[in-house]
Every structure is written in structure tokens, then in C-alpha cells.
Amino acid sequence: MSQVSEERILESLSQIIDPDLRKDIVKLGFVRDLEVSGGDISFRIVLTTPACPVKEQMESQAYELVSAIEGVTSVKVTMDAEVPQGRGIANNVAIPGVKNIIAVSSGKGGVGKSTVAVNLAVALAQNGAKVGIMDADVYGPNVPLMLGTGYDQPEVANGQLQPIEAHGVKMISMAVLVPPDKPMILRGPMLHGVVRQFLTDVNWGELDYLIVDMPPGTGDVQLSLAQLVPVQGAVLVTTPQEVSLSDVRRAVKMFEQVAVPVLGVIENMSYFVAPDTGTRYNIFGEGGGQKLSDEYGLNFLGQVPLGMEVREGGDKGTPVVVSAPDSPQAAAFRKVAEEVARHVSIEAMKPELVILSKAR
């Protein structure tokens, strides 16, 4: 019996199409380390995110396609992931080792933006990604509280701050650099300096994603971040009611002006299901996030329902994706994390971003 050719295997695997990038996995370079030993076949499929929702489906399809080739006696498929490097913009300086910077923003306070940022970061880390979170909400820095690190100060080594780690996520925040009872009185130029220090004077190491928890609104920190580093995309957090949506519209326009793609909209506090009756209550209205996404042609990344588990997890320093992993809220955050990772990969693989970086 003649040995199966690599060309025949790749021909079969080219039938598998990535649903987001709309090309086959062979052309995309996802098939790696193909080995053929008689009828024994082994290879890796390297996806663009460890949170890929179709990973198991691709693995099964690859196994079936190669097993059907005449002469094949065994197939070993290994699924892996390498998050692609985000876009580069000539005027901005990339952070060594950090592949993608994601801004989590909102038009107004009180919509649970920091809760979303923290649970998004931890959910991505649970999927196997290397994740950091930068608390850029300098006026109300509460990420350390939500991650349970308290106000332990970071160590300094070789002239750089060493981020504090919790739940698999590296973190830095103004809250760990100043006393917790000291008010934050900062003007525009000072804010720019804080953002620059958090980005360049912190030893982030190798990260797939750096989540940036932005202050609410459309002020100096947002502009500084966009000016300093190549932000891969922004995630906008809203609640269903109109007053929140109107403020998020301003955030959409701001990110457009600074050439930062909006990856999508997350609707937080979408509804509440009474635990005793199962009745659903739309406390803050209904359908606002979807409406906003449709209005601006944005991706709707998902809804996160209200629940005591989220508040309790934040207060105790154990995010709900860790403290109550089987809760509807944790499931919603994991789904949102998958969607964010998916759209980051789509943005990173867009050829027009290369054109944009050369044009600027």
C-alpha cells in the first residue's frame, strides 16, 4: 500500500472554511506540523483564538475528512491557538509582547463597565489566553477590589512596575499606587502621563489581550489611549434604557474620530429573572443594545442579565465567572468573551488595516 500524500490530506482539509475569515484553513495557514507515516496521520490546527466557539466542530470535521482518505489508518488532530498580532499604526508605539489592546468603554457611569471588563478578562484567561487588565478609570479605580487583590502595591524590578496577578490575569491600577482614601485630582496632561506610564513602565510580559477599563465618558483618557498605542478595538457597554444609549452614541462617534474600530456592544443588566418564580423582568427596558448595534451597523456581542451573584462576586474579589461558573451571568460573560476574541481576530486579519497603517 502506497503512502498517503501530504497534498491529498491538505486537499481534504481545504474543505473546512473558517466561518469568520471565510477562507479555508489551509490557505489561512492554520494546518501545522503535518506528519505522514504510512497510514498514520497527525497534524495541528492552530486557530486565532483559544475561545473559538467552533473549535470542536472543526476538530471533528478534520478527523472525518482525513479518515475518509484511502490508505489512512489513524488520525491524530491537535487543536491549538495563536492569537494574531493586532494592527500597527505608524504614529503609535506598540507595547513589546502585547498582541492586542482592547478598550472597554461606556458613555456614562453606572452601567457595570468595570464588572464587564474584569469578567471579560478572567473568562479569556480561563480559555487559555494570556491576559492583562489595565485600570485606566483613574477617578474610580476599583478593579483591584473586584479581583480581590486589595491595595497591595506592585513591586519594582529593573525600573518597571510588576503587575499584580489574580485569577490568571495581570493587573495594574491607580488604586494600588496611591492611598485608597486619597482623591484623584488630575487634569488632562497628568492623565496622559498616567496612561503612558501604565502602558510603557509596566512589565506586562507576553499578553494575547490587554483589557483597558476606561473611565466613563469621552474625555482625556480615551483620547490619550488612542494617541499613544495601537488599540485593536473598543467594546462599548450599555444598559437597555435610552439615557444610557444616548451617551454610548457619543462614544461611538469618538472612537470613529480617533480611528479605533468598535468591536461591538455589550448590553449589561439586560433583565432580571426572579429566582422564586422564574418570571423575567425588564427593569431597565428591553432591546436597547440590539437597537444601538443595528443603528450603527455594529456587532451585538450579547446580553448579561442582572443577578446577585455578580454583585457578590465583585464585592468579595471573586468574579462571577469564578465564584458562580454555572450561573446565567457567568455563561453570558463567557459567551461575550468568545465574541470579543472572535472579532479581535477578524480585525487583526483584515488586510485593509495594513493599508490604513501605511496611509497614516
At residue 357, the pLDDT reads: 40
- Tell me the fold of 6-81: GMP Synthetase; Chain A, domain 3 (3.30.300)
298-340 confidence digits (pLDDT tens): 999 999 998 888 888 888 999 999 999 999 999 999 999 999 9
Length of the chain: 360
* Sign of the CA dihedral running 284, 255, 295, 310: negative
Residue pair 233/239 in contact by the 8 Å Cβ criterion: no
Q: State the Rg of the chain over Cα.
A: 22
Residue ranges of the chain that CATH labels 3.30.300.130: 6-81
What is the mean predicted confidence (pLDDT) over 83-95? 62
Using left for φ > 0, alpha for ψ between -120 and 50, and beta otherwise, residue 289 falls in alpha
CA-CA distance, 216 to 251, in Å (whole number)? Answer: 9
Amino acid letter for position 47: L
Q: What is the mean pLDDT of residues 121-135?
A: 94
Min mean pLDDT across 227-231, 235-239, 264-268 is at 227-231
pLDDT by residue (tens digit) across 146-170? 999 887 788 888 888 899 999 999 9
For 191, other C-beta atoms within 10 Å of its C-beta total 20
Q: What CATH superfamily classification does 98-359 receive?
A: P-loop containing nucleotide triphosphate hydrolases (3.40.50.300)
pLDDT the model gives residue 348 = 81
Residue range(s) in the chain whose domain bears CATH number 3.40.50.300: 98-359
